[in-house]
Each structure stands twice: as structure tokens, then as C-alpha cells.
Amino acid sequence: MAEITLNNLVKKYGDGFPAINDVSLDIKDGEFMIFVGPSGSGKSTLLRMVVGLEDITSGDLHIGGKRVNDLSPKDRNLSMVFQNYALYPHLTVFENIAFPLRLAKGKHPESEIKEKVNNASALLELDEHLQRKPSNLSGGQRQRVAMGRAIVRDADAFLFDEPLSNLDAKLRGQMRTEIARMQRRLGTTTIYVTHDQTEALTLGDRVSVLKKGVLQQVASPRELYDQP
């Protein structure tokens, strides 16, 4: 778990208008922070800067008190869940979830891998599907596998990039509840990006509203909901 601090972050692509324009924000240890805004407001850019997939033009980014501007993604110890799941089609559910552990430096013993995968799959109700391949799963189950892969290792924070946008409305509602419950159980600092108002108002501890790269407001869901 870790605190994430953004200090005057700026991102410019080429010499255009900044995609992220002087954003400062303190995300507390264990907090569930939502970033909401219309398409093009800079949500993905911000998330990609935090995870290290995008260079920071100026400003400072600290994770767990450490400046990480120049650290590669693999040295930041964060887990990211993408919109399109990015599962490995040739691997079973078990192996998809186990993948980050097999990749980690300092090999995990097989018994430990089994235990961690079983814990993650129990939390996500995937126990019965561990030997199946992604192509034999529903959209909701695939999304759970992607989350299993994110939570299986002890990351300092989870980053979610519109993880529910490919699901139908009913499943989205169900997964919202599950994600909120999972985050509370694990207590891991989480950044969750969405353009969906319902997700913004129901999932997190606080909501950051982005517009054209500028942080407009940071408030609790309650405060946003009560606004005229």
C-alpha cells in the first residue's frame, strides 16, 4: 500500500495544448480515488503517467514517498487493469492469474503461487473456472480474471482504466459492487478511471473531476451528488 502524490503534473504531446495541465493531488494510503471526465479530458494520460507508460513533461510524481518520475513501469510496483482485459488466450485462467508471480524477480515457490492464485480466485468467484481458457469465458468472467491478475501480487496500488466499459449494464452493476467490496477487503490504494457518472458516484472514497486536462474539483461522492 502506498500514498500517491501528484505535484504540478504536466503532459504535452508534441507542442500542442497540454493533455494534463498542472494537476496536483494527494491520494491517501488505502484510498479509492476515481478520475472522471468526458472523452479527451486526459484520464488515460494521467493513469499512464502514474504507471510509467507515458513520460512526465514536468512536475513530480511520488509513490510511497519515493519520487518515481524516472522509474520504469516494472520498478513502480503497481498493478494495472486495462479496458480490453489483455488476457493471454493460450493460457488457462489459473496461469493467467499466476503470470505476474512467475514473472517476478526472486521466484515464488509453486506452493505459494497456488495459494495466492486460489485466494484471488476465491475473492473473485473464479474457483470453478481455473482450468478453462479465456475464450470459453463470459465477458464478466474475463474481466474478473484480469482483476485476479492485478490483485495476485502485493502491489502498492491498483490502477483501473475503464474496466467495465465493455460489459452490459446488468453486469456492470454487479461488478461495481464486487470491485468496491474487493478494494475494501484488500485496502490497497486504488485509482479508477471512468467516464461513467454512476461508477464515479458509487465506487470510490473521493472523485477527481478532469476537464481538458485541468483538475476541476476533488470531492466525496456525497458532495458531488448533493450539488445542484
Structural contact between residues 185 and 178, judged by C-beta atoms closer than 8 angstroms: no
- Rounded Cα gap, residues 170 and 70, in angstroms: 41
Transcribe 21-53 into DSSP letters.
EEEEEEEPTT-EEEEE--TTSSHHHHHHHHHTS
44 or 183: CB nearest ligand ADP? 44
Least distance to ligand ADP from the beta carbon of 161, Å? 7
30 or 139: CB nearest ligand ADP? 139
Centroid of chain to Cα 30: 13
Least distance to ligand ADP from the beta carbon of 159, Å? 13
22 or 95: CB nearest ligand ADP? 22
114 or 211: CB nearest ligand ADP? 211
39 or 135: CB nearest ligand ADP? 39
β-bridge mates for residue 209, sequence order: 36, 217
- Rounded Cα gap, residues 68 and 76, in angstroms: 7
Least distance to ligand ADP from the beta carbon of 28, Å? 23
Residues forming contacts to ligand ADP in the complex (CB under 6 A) are 13, 19, 37, 39-45
Least distance to ligand ADP from the beta carbon of 114, Å? 35
- Rounded Cα gap, residues 81 and 19, in angstroms: 22
52 or 101: CB nearest ligand ADP? 52
Least distance to ligand ADP from the beta carbon of 33, Å? 15
CA angle 164, 170, 172 (to 5 degrees): 15
Transcribe 71-91 into DSSP letters.
--GGGS-EEEE-TT----TTS
Least distance to ligand ADP from the beta carbon of 93, Å? 26
43 or 144: CB nearest ligand ADP? 43
Q: 27 to each of 136, 188, 190, how far by Cα in Å? A: 38, 12, 9
- Other C-beta atoms lying within 10 Å of the C-beta of residue 144: 26
Least distance to ligand ADP from the beta carbon of 137, Å? 23
